[in-house]
Amino acid sequence: MADKKKRRRAAHGSDSDSDNRPFKSKLKPDSVILQTLKALKSSCSSSASTSKTLSLSDVGLSATCREVADLPLDEVQSEIESLAFTIAKSILSGEGFSFSVPSRSAANQLYVSELDRIVLKDKSSARNFGNVSTVRKATITLRILQLVHQLCTSNIHVTKRDLFYTDVKLFQDQSQSDAVLDDVSCIVGCTRSSLNVVAAEKGVVVGRLIFSDNGDMIDCTKMGMGGKAIPPNIDRVGDMQSDALYILLVEKDAAFMRLSEDRFYNRFPCIIVTAKGQPDVATRLFLRKMKMELNLPVLALVDSDPYGLKILSVYGCGSKNMSYDSANLTTPDIKWLGIRPSDLDKYKIPEQCRLPMTEQDIKTGKDLLEEDFVKKNPAWVEELNLMVKTKQKAEIQALSSFGFQYLSEVC
């Protein structure tokens, strides 16, 4: 298999293809690339052994910001029962009841450069059952707490969709039950995974990784080109083993399937993972677990548009919607492999493969330039400025203009 790939790569470098692939001759031999990857892995392992993961306490923010913890079921159950006792006591005293809910609004978010992630500040708001403007949300909050308590006593997992269908008339729309579920995590002080409510399977992984899934050993080199679905509950994943040199994080499913079918992970030993677009919680948890346990560098391949960079930032710095759990959901030191705006001219991507940015695209790009996590990285600022200036974007699949398997040849 490896010999066939080498012959194919040599064939691609022939004179007949030189016009179609103007920069092909500049590519380094596989042996040189492998040495670079080994050095990168060694550097990552060394820094992991000497550096300490900082917390809010380490940067003096524990009093003004909040974080949740991964709690066992009995502690989650105890917290809910304690909250129920407080509510009952308040009702019996004739005072009604209300919840103190941490605000997850944009104004209550803070990017901490020392932690390189977004955290939640300590502002809260009252969700009063006796107030006409908040009575419905207070009722949904109480119902979600009741359902989570049932899950704790039964020791089972359900999906967010299952949770929604337990009381469709009350919730009306899944986005409402999902939002209150995040509120409940903040109220109880635990991660959303600790509530035993998970999202449906979305992300997939393939390549040089073996791990146990609820006791069953999974070899990700034998999962076909579709890969192995990432388990929705990370607590059943363990015993990770790998001889990979790095983790390749891919934005799109199409690029993932191309690399998987070509068994790119055998030529340059790696683990390939994708959330098929917007990162879900399970994929973010799985990526962090791989990074921390295997001490491997993470290289990201995303579209050359503002949303590709936003997706990359969610993996690295966290999302504002779930900033309360950024300590568990973020993966530090992800390298932006491509596709960068400067790559469009550097690799001579044909004009027919480039797309004009919409007004919304340009606005999103300018908004990103105002974000602290972008300002911290001069290279990102330079690339974003170029993108906004040229008003051009391109997807990973633009490389297919040089051949359908070109991504596997040059990635």
Q: Tell me 231's DSSP state.
A: P
- To the query of whether residue 165 is one of the catalytic residues in this protein, the response is yes
- Ramachandran category for residue 374: left, alpha or beta (phi over 0 → left; psi -120 to 50 → alpha): alpha
Q: Which residue has 């977004």 as its token pair?
A: 118
> Do 355 and 300 form a contact (C-beta atoms < 8 A)?
no
CA 372/CA 108 separation, integer angstroms: 15
Name 65's bridge partners. Answer: 121
CA 352/CA 296 separation, integer angstroms: 37
Q: Which of 111, 165, 246, 347 is catalytic?
A: 165
Which residues touch 260 (CB under 8 Å, ≥6 apart)?
206, 207, 225, 226, 227, 272
CA 230/CA 200 separation, integer angstroms: 10
**Six-digit token pair at 409?**
């040849």
Residues 46-59, buried b or exposed e (16+ Cβ, 10 A)?
eebeeeeeeebeee
The runs of H, that is alpha helices, within 210-334 are: 253-261, 264-267, 281-294, 306-317, 326-329
Q: Which residues are tagged catalytic?
A: 165
